[in-house]
Amino acid sequence: FALLEAQKDSIQEKIDLPLYWHKTDAQSCKVFVRRDGDFTDGAKWTELFEWLLKYLEQFNEVFRPIIQRI
């Protein structure tokens, strides 16, 4: 996590939403984006899943090469 966090600024430049870096302890570290949404409303599912897919793809494109180098 520290190796990723050291590249925080360059990673943030590639993701178009604010990244949240959360570390509670050595076993629980997260980097994530967030959006409010109501998954109980089926009418919103397409919109929410498109958003999720977009950021999963961005995370894959940005983090995969970095993690492979680490």
**pTM of the predicted structure, to 2 decimals:** 0.82
Residue-level pLDDT at 29? 92
**Under 8 Å between Cβ of 23 and 29:** yes
Q: How far apart are CA 45 and CA 40, in angstroms?
A: 9
Using left for φ > 0, alpha for ψ between -120 and 50, and beta otherwise, residue 23 falls in beta
Q: What is the pLDDT of residues 12-62, one digit of tens each?
A: 999 999 999 998 887 889 999 999 999 899 999 999 999 999 999 999 999
pLDDT, averaged across the chain = 93
Per-residue pLDDT tens over the stretch 3-12 = 999 999 999 9
Summary count for the chain: helices (H), strands (E): 3, 2
Predicted local distance difference test score (pLDDT) of residue 65: 95
The rounded distance, in Å, linking the Cα atoms of 26 and 46 is: 36
